[in-house]
Structure 1
Amino acid sequence: MSAIFPTYNRFDVHVKHAEGTTIVDQDGKKYLDFISGIGVCNLGHRHPAVKEAIEKQLEEVWHVSNLFHLTIQEEVAMQLVDHCDGDAVFFCNSGAEANEAALKLARKYTQKTKVITFQQSFHGRTFATMAATGQKKIHSDFGPLLQEFKYLPYNDCASLEKEMDENVAAIMVEIIQGEGGVIPINPEFISRIAELCQKYNALLIIDEVQTGMGRTGKPFAYQHFGISPDIITVAKGLGSGLPVGAMIGKNILKEAFGAGVHGTTFGGNPIGLSAAKATLSIVFQEQFLEEVTDKGDYLKLKLTTSLEKNEIINSIRGKGLMVGIDCKSEVTEILKLLRERGLLALNAGPNVIRLLPPLTVTKAEIDLAVDLINDVIKEYSHVTTL
């Protein structure tokens, strides 16, 4: 009998070892990992540069608290602000904490309380970030939520224009809705969001927890669209598996987050930031990002070519190495069959297969993954039509 709360429906895979794009279970079976810890291990498992940085930091200091100056905090903060529109960083431990900080900052700075988010969004599981999430299943059975969140249809300019007014403190949005089904934002929609935020003196918060750190071929996914957010939140791929998150904001917001306003015991921990520093030094390289774009295009092309005639496929969508295969039926059994064949993939809602391979994945590994997906979906389609 397990002593762990059953908050996850776990796969029947007992992990013993992981390296690069490979996970090995306790029986010695190898799996090609196209989950990456849900978009966390962007450099693959146990990347040698990250491992070396962590080991070096372990010999220096583990934790002293944020009452002290830590050079590595300044170094990682500069890596982040040098590659985005932000000017100041608040370090924390997770995406939910980064989003929580963003919501607190938006309310405090604007002195307004209304926040617009979108249906099928996902921003975390704290009370504030759960309230920001536009999914009823996330809200269920927790009683009254934090008030004044409005959930609008994603990619719907008319609904946004109707709801927007001077009472809005912020709009929080994902450039690609990950948990909501790997749904990319329309260029005209994100442009209109930015325009309306400026018109009504609201803050634009971009949740880059899953799309940031090179996942879409840019340091941050919003950079595909020529906009300038006020707040950016990141986590997942920032620490290559160590728990670290960050909220990045513009200079105008610094005074609203002065001493004693917000805090965290473990945020900015030097061990986590040593992993982040090594990670960012690789994923923010121009050549590395170009390769992510090339491999992402290659993955989508291979999937489209292999699956376009299969009648259970609705569409293939995404950007960079964040790809969703939208199916006409639930994908639970397909994912199980893929695991049996040695490929780890994830769902995004009931009908979407979500692929989040390490950004270091090779084209040969993409070929192998696509062949397995094609074979399994063909077999599944044949069985379900009998």
Structure 2
Amino acid sequence: MGTVAARKNFKLKGIEDALEMSDKELERNYKEFINPYFLQLLKLLKLNKRFKKAKGIKLWDTNGEEYFDFLGAYGAINLGHNNEDVIRKVNMIRETPNLIQTAIQPLAAILAENLAMITPGDLKYTFFCNSGAEAVEGALKLAKIATGKHRIIYCKGSFHGKSLGALSVTGREKYKKHYGPMVPMNTEVEYGDITELRNAINYYDDIAAFIFEPIQGEGGIITPPEGYLKEASELCRDKKIILIADEVQTGFGRTGYWFACEKENIVPDILCMAKSLGGGIMPMGAYIANKQVWKKGYGSLDKCLLHTSTFGGNAWGCAAAIATIEVIQEEELELAAMEKGEYFISQLKSLMEKHNILVDVRGQGLMIGLEFRNASTSNRLINNLLGSHNEMLNEYFGGMIASELANKYRIITAYTLNNPNVIRVEPPLTLTYSEIDYFVESLESVLKNFKGLSGMTIQTAKNLFAKIDREA
């Protein structure tokens, strides 16, 4: 395979083959060509579902079983799956050139103008890319060139992406330890601790930017203390430090506002966005900066192309983003997220009073975190049976609860990357109150039957750790 002779004898497969592929063939391809251990993890958690159809919050598997997507691709499906308005608008440009780098593009121009209208304050110039990590990379580079400084202050528990620059300002060692050295001159502070931030800002004189999430997503849906972001913003203004808001997960109505930093009237110098920007149809990312910062960074002929992206601002992606913004505005989905989120959170908090394994419900709008007491402390039987593997069990405990919801109640969720005891709930903003009630009732059933969950946890964990031990 890969040689000229092999290519001559190899029959390429097409879309039809993918649609008709058997489950056995699908798993074989994952093992041979994608990621066999990811497949293995999904199978152990019984999350290796195969879906053939999606609409709104609903998914259908190959057996015709209906599921409810309360994960929403980590906040990327704010409009629901396969939104018809977005698809219809994208189909309007089928004959439009998608990629021409040496020309001006009207769809990018309109999208950039719209973003300047809906983002906070004086944000003006937009750079288009394909993902949240790329948006963060571009924002970090802009901050450094605009200030002539290089230190970035970031928060413990943060998640800004897994490319090297973004990873260097991500606050979890698990994702960094194999890839060192990181990009140098980054300083970590405790999220929500204004004193620690102030001390860092006063100590260093080489700070280019402070990057933050208005709500930490992968950190476990962590909201900062009231007033923290406002005071952090003022500290940065006083010291002429660029303020970067990472709204990749919180943007476009998710938290009850167009952008979460609006809650405290924060106006960052640079704002990163992605995920739902493409309406769940196209991969789209961007960062937007105010005029002063952008001009200091790229405001001349010799510097205007220092940072570029081959697919950034492509016509199809821009069309999807324009349509997404229109749908959110016309349907007032940010207000719907706030109202439904208040109801959802109140119903979930009522479960905490009945079930002590659920230790916290937090979030804003339809960005909600459910934190569970970890397996080793919540169940003595698990602790005795699994012994030295307890620490690893905690890494997958949220996934095991997600497995129970998926397999018994057909509800799709997932744990947060930086806190595996937290299940994230980020459904489409278009969900109904009856769908919220179904989620709450299903979760209550899981919590009521925790002994059954313990049995599932033990068996799943034994299978997982036996496999790990064999490969050690």
Pairs within 5 Å for 1:241-256:
241=280, 242-255=282-295, 256=297
2:79 paired with 1:43: yes
Deviation of 1:52 (Å): 0.1
Amino acid at match of 1:143: G
Query: Separation in 1 of the partners of 2:321 and 2:161?
Result: 21
- Structure 2 residue corresponding to 1:333, chosen from 386, 400, 403: 400
Greater CA drift, 307-316 or 293-302: 307-316
| Contact 1:214/1:284 (<8 A) preserved | no
Amino acid at match of 1:342: R
For residues 171-213 of structure 1, the C-alpha deviation after alignment (integer angstroms, 9 at most, x for no partner) is 0000110001000122221122111101111000000000001
For residues 281-316 of structure 1, the C-alpha deviation after alignment (integer angstroms, 9 at most, x for no partner) is 121348332211111111101111234321111110
C-alpha RMSD of matched pairs (Å): 1.7
Amino acid at match of 2:75: G
2:350 paired with 1:310: no
- Structure 2 residue corresponding to 1:235, chosen from 246, 271, 274: 274
2:311 paired with 1:274: no
| Contact 1:307/1:374 (<8 A) preserved | no
2:366 paired with 1:321: yes
Pairs within 5 Å for 1:1-386:
1=28, 2=30, 3-6=33-36, 8=38, 9-10=41-42, 11-65=47-101, 67-84=102-119, 85=121, 86-165=123-202, 166-241=205-280, 242-255=282-295, 256-257=297-298, 258-285=303-330, 287-329=332-374, 330-340=397-407, 341-348=409-416, 349-380=419-450, 384=454
| Contact 1:173/1:206 (<8 A) preserved | yes
Calculate percent identity across the aligned residue pairs: 34
| Contact 1:115/1:149 (<8 A) preserved | yes
For residues 328-380 of structure 1, the C-alpha deviation after alignment (integer angstroms, 9 at most, x for no partner) is 12322211010012000111121111100001111111111111111112212
| Contact 1:44/1:358 (<8 A) preserved | yes
Deviation of 1:236 (Å): 0.2
Amino acid at match of 1:238: L
CA separation of 1:72/1:38 partners in 2, compared to 1, >3 Å: closer, same or farther?
A: same
Amino acid at match of 2:92: K
Matched residues, number: 385
Deviation of 1:382 (Å): 6.7
Greater CA drift, 52-61 or 110-119: 52-61
For residues 127-178 of structure 1, the C-alpha deviation after alignment (integer angstroms, 9 at most, x for no partner) is 1000010110110211211001111111111211111133211000001100
Deviation of 1:6 (Å): 4.7
Query: Separation in 1 of the partners of 2:57 and 2:245?
Result: 29
Query: Separation in 2 of the partners of 1:194 and 1:261?
Result: 28
Query: Separation in 1 of the partners of 2:246 and 2:175?
Result: 17
Query: Separation in 2 of the partners of 1:209 and 1:56?
Result: 27
Query: Separation in 2 of the partners of 1:55 and 1:267?
Result: 19
Query: Separation in 2 of the partners of 1:16 and 1:188?
Result: 45
Query: Separation in 2 of the partners of 1:260 and 1:7?
Result: 40
CA separation of 1:132/1:199 partners in 2, compared to 1, >3 Å: closer, same or farther?
A: same
Deviation of 1:61 (Å): 2.7
Amino acid at match of 2:195: A
CA separation of 1:306/1:331 partners in 2, compared to 1, >3 Å: closer, same or farther?
A: same
Amino acid at match of 1:375: S
Q: Which runs of 5+ in 1 are unaligned?
A: none
Q: Which runs of 5+ in 2 are unaligned?
A: 1-27, 375-396, 459-472
Structure with the higher fraction of residues in helix conformation: 2
Query: Separation in 1 of the partners of 2:73 and 2:278?
Result: 12
Normalising by structure 1, what TM-score?
A: 0.96
Greater CA drift, 123-132 or 254-263: 254-263
Q: What secondary structure is seen at the aligned counterpart in 1 of 2:227?
A: helix
| Contact 1:334/1:377 (<8 A) preserved | no
Structure number with greater Rg is: 2
Normalising by structure 2, what TM-score?
A: 0.79
For residues 194-234 of structure 1, the C-alpha deviation after alignment (integer angstroms, 9 at most, x for no partner) is 11101111000000000001101111000000121100000
